[in-house]
């Protein structure tokens, strides 16, 4: 079982690229259009990163009654959860400041985002154990974050922003799917009914291949539709797929690196994609 109790592991540094990349894309699109406040751009990046940190630290609390954890490990989970709630509170304060600038529509958007973050493992919703994580993360950690970031900075939204957010939505789903595949045996043993447990390991491996393929097909489609001025850098990032794809057929212990390597793909793709956006 992956040890989630130390602060660094509970923080999941590899996953922070999601907040940085999605908020970074929304901010970049707004800044490029010259309709943006630089101050708000910084606040969006900071708030998005803080929310990701808070969610990572809080979400482990559900596992506190796991019989495999020692008293010291359970205390560490409690400590991480408290830190997470403090970070969440500070992020909410920053969010309310942005609401005072952009209005109540942003508050509604933020509430949907908080619901999505909390509902991943929280309360009776717990859509992770309902097998809906990979599907809902596509919206919450892609379309919503990019669009919300763009709206905060620019005060508007467009179909173009929606279309350009779709690759990051696929990447977010791919990253979560890699996490499910990494933890498949542990989740199966503990009765955690993720999508991968419900549909089977082999099905989820095929889905990993499918999402990765769709990611680059969509990139080419956006280029063909003149939404991107180049696709070269983005296609080069596909070289980072080689190692995670190789691990899909590996045993449980070797598969432990799958999520980190998928996070690296997210980073390289995101960097290439945002660089391409700025080159337009």
Identify whether 15 is part of a domain: yes
Q: Which residues does 222 contact at the CB level (< 8 Å), separation at least 6?
A: 163, 164, 167, 228, 231
Q: Do 217 and 236 contact (CB within 8 A), yes or no?
A: no
pLDDT of residue 43: 92
pLDDT in tens, the chain (280 residues): 445 678 888 888 878 888 899 999 999 999 988 766 788 899 999 998 998 898 888 877 776 766 567 788 888 888 998 999 899 899 889 989 999 988 888 888 878 777 766 666 555 556 666 777 788 888 888 898 899 999 999 888 899 999 999 999 999 999 989 989 998 888 888 787 888 989 999 999 999 999 999 999 999 999 999 999 999 999 999 999 999 999 998 888 888 899 999 999 999 999 999 999 998 7
Query: Which residue's entry shows tokens 């691990």?
Result: 247
pLDDT at residue 188 in the model: 87
State the Cα–Cα distance between residues 87 and 56, nearest whole angstrom: 11
pLDDT the model gives residue 118: 62
Identify the domain containing residue 221 by its residue range: 7-279
65, 28 in Cβ contact below 8 A? Answer: no
Instruction: Tell whether 207 is covered by a domain.
Output: yes
- Write out the two tokens for 43: 């606040």
Separation of alpha carbons 128 and 3, rounded Å:
19
In this structure, is residue 165 part of a structural domain? Answer: yes
Q: pTM for the complete prediction?
A: 0.86
Residue 202 lies in a domain: yes
Domain count, the chain: 1
Asked if the structure places residue 2 within a domain, the reply is: no
The answer to whether residue 134 is domain-embedded is yes
Judge contact between 193 and 159, C-beta under 8 A: no
Is 149 in contact with 226 (CB distance < 8 Å)? Answer: no
Classify residue 238: in a domain, yes or no: yes
In a domain, 1, yes or no: no
CATH number where 197 lies = 1.10.600
**In degrees rounded to 5, what are phi and psi of residue 201?**
-65, -45
What does the pLDDT read at residue 18?
Answer: 87
């Amino acid at each position: 079982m992956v040890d989630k109790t130390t602060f660094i592991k509970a923080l999941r540094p590899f996953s922070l690229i999601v907040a940085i990349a999605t908020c970074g894309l929304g901010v970049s699109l707004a800044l490029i259009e010259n309709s943006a406040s630089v101050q708000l751009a910084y606040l969006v990046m900071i708030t998005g990163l803080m929310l990701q940190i808070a969610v990572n630290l809080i979400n482990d609390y559900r596992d506190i009654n796991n019989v495999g954890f020692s008293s010291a490990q359970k205390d560490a989970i409690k400590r991480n959860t408290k830190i997470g709630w403090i970070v969440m509170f500070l992020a909410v304060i920053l969010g309310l400041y942005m609401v005072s600038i952009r209005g109540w529509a942003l508050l509604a958007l933020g509430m949907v985002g908080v619901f999505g973050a909390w509902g991943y493992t929280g309360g009776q919703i717990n859509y992770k154990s309902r097998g809906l994580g990979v599907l809902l993360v596509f919206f919450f950690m892609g379309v919503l974050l990019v669009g919300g970031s763009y709206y905060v900075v620019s005060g508007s939204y467009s179909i173009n922003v929606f279309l350009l957010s779709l690759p990051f939505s696929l990447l977010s789903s791919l990253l979560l799917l890699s996490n499910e595949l990494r933890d498949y045996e542990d989740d199966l043993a503990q009765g955690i009914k993720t999508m991968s447990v419900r549909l089977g390991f082999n099905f989820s491996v095929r889905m990993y291949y499918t999402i990765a393929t769709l990611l680059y097909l969509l990139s080419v489609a956006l280029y063909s539709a003149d939404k991107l001025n180049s696709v070269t850098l983005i296609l080069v990032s596909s070289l980072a797929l080689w190692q995670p794809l190789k691990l899909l057929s590996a045993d449980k212990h070797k598969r432990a690196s799958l999520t980190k390597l998928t996070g690296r793909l997210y980073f390289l793709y995101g960097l290439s994609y945002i660089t391409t956006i700025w080159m337009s």
